[in-house]
Every structure is written in structure tokens, then in C-alpha cells.
Amino acid sequence: MLTIKQRIAEKIVENVKKLNADSALEAADVAAMLEYPPDTNMGDLAFPCFKLSKILRRSPVQIAQALIDGLEDEAVGYAEAVNGYLNIRIDNAYLCKNVLPEILEKKEAYGAPSIGNGKMVVLDYSSPNVAKPFHIGHLGTTVIGHSLRKLHEFAGYRCYGINYLGDWGTQFGKLIVAYRKWGSREAVEKGGIDKLVELYVRINNAIKGDPENGMPADQELADESRAEFHKLEMGDEENLELWTWFVAISLEEYNKTYKQLGITFDSYKGESFYTDKMPAQVQKLRDMNLLKIDDGASIVDLSEYNMPPCLILKRDGSTLYPTRDIAAAVYRKENYHFDKAIYVTSAQQCLHYAQWFKVVELMGYDWYDQLVHVPYGTVSLNGAKLATRTGNVVLLKDLFSLAIEKVKGIMEEKNPDLADKDEVAEAVGVGAIVFYYLTNNRIKDINFNLEDALSFDGNTGPYVQYTYARTCSVLEKVKGETLGDGGKITCDEEAALLKIMSQYEERVLTAIRDYEPSVITRFILDLSVAFNKFDHECRIVNEPDTRVRLTRIKLTEATKHVLGSAFSLICLKKTDRV
């Protein structure tokens, strides 16, 4: 169905054509020019007419005046020309007759665009490095990645989510040596990933040494680690068995976090999977004369594109991070036939992606422009003591546990009789972190303030989850009643609520276009604020006028569907009570 904006844009185009038959203006152009005025007293939509001065050869004031005539439409309440702007008020009866029933019919599918039909998107996200800490820096790739997946699915794309585990590399040689030296099966079984990380940190420290404090670097351990990794690469059975075990333990741990977030992947093919897929790509680079030898290493020179060279093989012939990414991209194209491949990582990896995307282009793969890197800023934590045995990184699971504990404390005070307290506390605690994080533009660096994130009063996860729960409890009170057709809007709060909901599809499209889940987070806030205002100002269950009462119940139900749908787009769980 056409959104209201599109509908009005088409009308405007018709009118423009009347003024200038040669105009090539299209509805999509006009839709992009239509603004939502910050002050809704001015109208619900505003069209800045100066943008058409050139093609219509008239002043904006004249254009605004001319466009008003012929703007009659069901969706337009009235239109006004003010200072070269065409201000439009959307008709309440139209909203009530069209938007409201559509939401009630489609429920959580309302607002789904269909731009993705038939297209395939592969998303590479989360992708932690096994045995290294899964820390708060991974929050971004995990929740932005998953939101982008949900957004694309919502828009009709087929999606394939890949957790490209960092499950290969010299760190496994180190881990094997450390395990044999200081670990044991029992200790690792008991301590899980924490024990693995501890062993990994210990051997790294030993290799580095602490010369200032009289501890020399341990070259022997470094050599031993390299040798063990080499054995692993050669298929040594014992080492392979250890490696498989280490990966399994790590995955088990990650899955706990993914479960808290409601995230699943279609594939966990990690770096190790691509080992035998690299030689063909290296050979292709060589055959195409793209490889240069530089101090023994093989590189692709990118100076022409103002970038440092892309490293393909080290001096000893071993492969590197970009080599693997190139081989993985080719594999994914051949096997999943993507129309778009999205990679979500911290902005520190921007150069890496720019480089290997360029190499893919130089290799003649015509799908190079379907590769998209989505970077995000750094995450730090303020005010909470969460230092770990592993130094000064904060583990994601510890951050979640802390948030859950705090929410439990708040709930104990606010609502001690709540059923399923643990489940609700988990949804709200984890949700608070996710929501706080996704409120910011992804590229901005953010400093977590846990108190702010967990507040029930601010623009937070708990606030919007409370709003959702409130719609559920209102509806619970009127369960089983038949609402019938029709309805009427009788106050501004009702109209404002419905207008925001009518913008949902547009916001989804913006979020997809900009790879920006925060667009949805802000939409959720706008909708929550509008609902709470409505709930505060208008009687719902106790309204004596039956028609008004039924309309308000419908509005509450519609809010529940749209909020619920938007929550699922940003990994926020729904709770019917808080």
C-alpha cells in the first residue's frame, strides 16, 4: 500500500505537470523533498517550494499557492501556503479508516517494505576470535549485524547470517602449548572459556616477558607455539582434537550470550574453513600479475588508489587476514549467490575492507560493488567496575550479568510480586544495554553509562519495554470484546499516535538505506512517547462513549503490534509485564 507521503507526492507531481507539462519530476523525488516539520502546529508534512523554482520559473510563494489548488485528496485534511512552503495536514478520518485497519489486519507485518523480494543478502557479523575474550567491543558487530539482518528480512530479502569465527591462526599454537604446560582437562571443563582465555593471556605474557621487572621475553615458548600451530595445520590428530574441543567450548559460551539476545546464525563457518580455498585465489592473483614481492612478502600494490599495499602472503608463505577474506567472499558468492554481502566490524578495520574490496575488483570479479562494509565506533564503559582476570577488557557476558542483577534489584523494589522475575529481568537488563547502544548513530564512539541505560524514566530500553507491557495490560482488561469496524479520532493524542505509526515503513527503509538501526530505536522512542501521552490524556478502558472507547482500544492494539515489530528489528525482547 502507498504510504501517505507517497500518495501526497503523487498528487503534487500531477499538479506540477499542470504547471509545466515538460517536467520530469517524479513522485519519488517529491517524496524525498517532503519534510516532517518539527513543530506539528505547522502541519504534518511540509513541501519546500523553492526546490521547484527553477523548473517552474516562479517564486516559491507563487508555487505554494498554485499547488494548493488541485491537492484535494482523501488523505489531505487541509493544505496551506506559508512563506513558500506548502503545509499539509493529514486527514484524521483517513488515518482512522485506512491506516488503523491496515495495522490491525497485518499485525507485526505492518510496515514491511517489499524492496528485497527475490534478493539475497549475506551478513557477516559477531565473528569473535576463539579463545580471545568476547568483550564489549563485540557488542556492536553482534547487535548491529543482527538488526541489519532482521531489517533486510522484514523488507523481503532472503538472508544468510554468518558467524565467521576467528577459529584459526597462531593463537591456537599458543593455546595448545599453554594448555599442556599449565592446564588440564578437568580445569578447562570446569572453567570453560574463562580458563582458555586465562591460559591464552598467561602464555602471551610469558612470551612478551616483562623486561622492566626482570622477566625476559620467552622466545622458546614462541617457537614452540608456532611449531604446534604448524602441526595443527598439517593435520596432527592430537592437536586437531584439542582445537575442536577449544572451539566447541567457546561456541557453547557464545551461544549463551546469543540466546540472551535472541540471535541465531545460519553458518558458523569460521576462518579455518577457508584454508584450502585460498591457494586458488593466490594463484589467480599471481596469474593476473597482481602480486608483487616486497621484502619476501607477496603484496598487491594499491598506491594508485592511495592505500597501503594489501598483504597476501607473509615471507614464510603463510596467508593473512585479507587473503582469507578474499577467498571467503568468492566462496560465498559461488555458494550463496548474494546480491549484497554485508560485513559489520569496528571502524578500525575500515582500511582492511577498502583494501581487499579493491583487490577483488582488480581480480575482475564483477560483484565487487556488492560488498558493503558497515563500520561502527568504539565502546567503552563508564562507572562500573568490571575488570577481568584478562586485564582491562570488559566481557560482554559480565556486562549483561551486571545489568540483569541491577534490574532485579529495581524490580524487587518496584514490583516484588512479579511472576517469572528472572526471565523478565534478563529481557529488561539485556534489552537496556542493547537499546542504549543502538540509540546512537553507529559510527559514534560511545561511553556506556549503566545508570542511564537502566533508568526506567529516560529514553531507555526499560521505558519502551514498559510501554509495550502497558499496551498488553490494557488489552488484557478488554480481552474477548469484539471491536467491530470503524472508529473515530476525537483528540490530538490519538491522531499523533496514528501518524507516527503511519511512518513506520519509511523509517524502516531509511534504516536499511543507511545501515542504521538507530533509526528504528528512535522510532520506538517516538512511538512510546506518543502512546504514553495518549494513555495519560485519554481514558481507554473506562471511556463511556462506546465508539471512542473501541477506537482507543484499537489504537492500543495497533501500538502493540508496531512496537512489537520494531523491537524484533533491534534484538529487543518483548515482555508483557515489567
Contact between 129 and ligand ARG (CB under 6 A)? yes
Question: Cα(545)–Cα(103) distance, rounded to whole angstroms?
Answer: 23
Contact between 164 and ligand ARG (CB under 6 A)? yes
Contact between 518 and ligand ARG (CB under 6 A)? no
| 574 CB neighbour count, 10 Å cutoff | 17
> Residues 331-370 vs ligand ARG: string with x where CB under 6 A?
------------x-x-------------------------
Please give the torsion angle defined by the CA atoms of residues 302, 304, 306 and 309, in that order, rounded to the nearest 10 degrees.
Answer: 20
Q: Which of 84, 166, 429, 487 binds ligand ARG (CB under 6 A)?
A: 166
CB-nearer residue toward ligand ARG: 270 or 517: 270
DSSP 284-338: HHHHTT-EEEETTEEEE--GGGTSPPEEEE-TTS-B-HHHHHHHHHHHHHHHH--
Q: How far is the CB of 139 from ligand ARG (least distance, A)?
A: 12
Contact between 167 and ligand ARG (CB under 6 A)? no
Q: How far is the CB of 193 from ligand ARG (least distance, A)?
A: 15
Q: How far is the CB of 550 from ligand ARG (least distance, A)?
A: 52
CB-nearer residue toward ligand ARG: 130 or 432: 130
Q: How far is the CB of 127 from ligand ARG (least distance, A)?
A: 4
CB 578 within 8 A of CB 569: no
111 grid coordinates: 510496515
CB 356 within 8 A of CB 322: yes
Piece in contact with ligand ARG (CB under 6 A), picked from 126-134, 190-198, 304-312, 469-477: 126-134
Piece in contact with ligand ARG (CB under 6 A), picked from 122-130, 368-376, 443-451, 518-526: 122-130
Residue 484 makes CB contacts below 8 A (sequence gap 6+) with: 550
Q: How far is the CB of 347 from ligand ARG (least distance, A)?
A: 12
Piece in contact with ligand ARG (CB under 6 A), picked from 55-63, 120-128, 444-452, 559-567: 120-128
Question: Cα(481)–Cα(308) distance, rounded to whole angstroms?
Answer: 68
Q: Which of 91, 108, 224, 325 binds ligand ARG (CB under 6 A)?
A: 325
Question: Cα(385)–Cα(436) distance, rounded to whole angstroms?
Answer: 19
Backbone φ and ψ for 408, nearest 5 degrees, come out as -55, -45
What sign for the dihedral angle of Cα 271, 277, 282, 285? negative
Q: How many Å from the N-terminal Cα to the C-terminal Cα in the chain?
A: 35
Question: Cα(62)–Cα(576) distance, rounded to whole angstroms?
Answer: 53
Q: Which of 124, 198, 253, 398 binds ligand ARG (CB under 6 A)?
A: 124
Q: How far is the CB of 144 from ligand ARG (least distance, A)?
A: 12
Piece in contact with ligand ARG (CB under 6 A), picked from 125-133, 399-407, 419-427, 556-564: 125-133
Contact between 323 and ligand ARG (CB under 6 A)? no
